[in-house]
Amino acid sequence: PARVEYIYKKKSITRRTSTAHSAGLSIDIRLVARLEKMQSVTLRAPSAMPARVGTVSRARRAVKVCAASSVQTQTVKIGTRGSPLALAQAYLTRDLLKAQFPHLAEDGALEIIIIKTTGDKVLGQPLADIGGKGLFTKEIDDALLDGRIDIAVHSMKDVPTYLPPGTILPCNLPREDVRDVFISAKYNSIDELPDGAVVGSASLRRQAQLLARNPTLKVVNFRGNVQSRLRKLQEGDCDATLLAYAGLRRLDLADKATSILSEDEMLPAVAQGAIGIACREGDEGPMDLLAALNHESTRLSVVCEREFLKALDGSCRTPIAGIAKENADGKMHFRGLVSSLDGSRVVRGEGVADMNEAAVAELGRTVGAQVRAEAGEDFLDWSNADA
C-alpha cells in the first residue's frame, strides 16, 4: 500500500490510503474531502513503482499528488519532565511508537524534550503549600499549546482533574501495579513500626492511612525523585518511607521494596500506576498515533477514578484514595475513600458499573457524591483542617 503524507501549517502526518496500481495512482475521494483545508498532499509509493504525477481539484484548491521512492516523516516531539522516572515513561512511550509505526523508528523521527516544571524546582515544601498537582504539568501544557512539543507524557496521578482548553488526553498506556510499598532498613512492615517512629512521605493520602493504623507515628515531608528519597532513607532521615510500586518497577528498583502493601492496607492514589499521553485538540496526526497506543481498560479505570476525585473537589490538601478495576465478569468495580489528615475519620464508598465511558464516569461521580454526603456539609473543612 502507498502512503499519503499531507502537510498543513507545517505539520506532517502519514496515513494509509488506496493502493497504487501500475496504471497510475488513486486516492479515495473521502480522504480528499477531509483535506479541504490543507494546501498540499504528497503520495509516495515504494521505489518499485513508476513515478507519476496527477492533480485533483476540490473546494477551489489544488491537491497535488506524486509518487516518490521514500517516505519522509516530520519529527514527533515528546514532552516530559526530567526526573529518572518521567524519562523512563517517555522512553517507554517512544519505544511503543517505534514498534507500532515502523517509519517512526527512523533516525530523527522521534525526539524527547525535557521540560522543567515548578514542582521539580521547589522541593522543600509540601505540594499543598505551593499550588498542588498542576505544578507538575503547567509548563508541559504550555509547551504543548505553543507547538514546542507534539505529545506530552504524564504520570496520571499528577494531572489535575481539569485539562487546559485546547488539549485532550486520549491515551493511557497499560497500567502498572497500583500498590504502594513499604521501605525500611530497620523494620519489615508497617505493623513493626514502634510508637513514635518517623515515616517520610509527602503524600497526605499515605499519611492519613498510616495514622489511622497508628496515630503515634510521626510523618515528615519527604519530597524529591525516587532515588533522592531512597538516599535520604539510607542517610537516616527517617525510619521508613512508602513509594509507589509502579515507579520502582519502571526504574528497575523493585528490589528496594521491603514489603508490598495490599490495597486493603493502603488504598492507592487516584490513577496511580497509569501513564497518560496528551496532545492538542484536533491535531489529527498525534491523535492517530495515540489511538494506536491506548489501553482502553486502563483509560476507563482512570476516567472513573478522576470523576470520583472531581466529585469530592479533591486537591493536594485532601487525603483521597480510589481504585477502579475491571472484574472477571467484565464489569468495572470501584472503591474509594476520603479521610481527615490525622486518619481519625475515614469515609468509604464503592460500586459497580458496565465497562463503557458514560457508565464508569457516572460510577465515579455517584460514589463521590455518596461519600461526600456521608461525610457531611463540613467535609472540606475537616479534610483540610490542619493543612
pTM, rounded to two decimals:
0.77
What's the rounded Cα separation, in Å, for the pair 337 and 347?
A: 6
Classified as helix, coil or strand, 353 is strand
pLDDT band, very low/low/confident/very high, at 118 (cuts 50, 70, 90): confident
* Segment 211-239 mean pLDDT: 92
Q: What is the pLDDT of residues 321-342, one digit of tens each?
A: 999 999 999 999 999 999 999 9
Question: Rounded to the nearest 5 degrees, what angle is found at the Cα of 31, between the Cα atoms of 30 and 37?
Answer: 110
Q: Which three cell numbers stand for residue 91?
A: 522512553
Nearest CA to 119 out of 223, 262, 254, 233 is that of 223
Nearest CA to 317 out of 120, 159, 133, 138 is that of 133
Give the largest CA-CA distance in the chain. 83
What's the rounded Cα separation, in Å, for the pair 88 and 173?
A: 13
Q: Do 275 and 172 touch, CB atoms closer than 8 A?
A: yes
Indicate which residue of 141, 150, 158, 283 is catalytic.
158
Nearest CA to 158 out of 209, 195, 202 is that of 202
379 pLDDT higher than 60: yes
Classified as helix, coil or strand, 242 is strand
Average pLDDT, the chain: 81
Which pLDDT value is given to residue 281? Answer: 97
Which pLDDT value is given to residue 44? Answer: 35
Q: What is the pLDDT of residues 58-101, one digit of tens each?
A: 333 333 332 222 334 489 999 999 999 999 999 999 999 999 99
Residue 150 among the catalytic residues:
no
Residue 220: beta bridge partners? 200
The H-assigned helical ranges of 275-356 are 284-293, 296-311
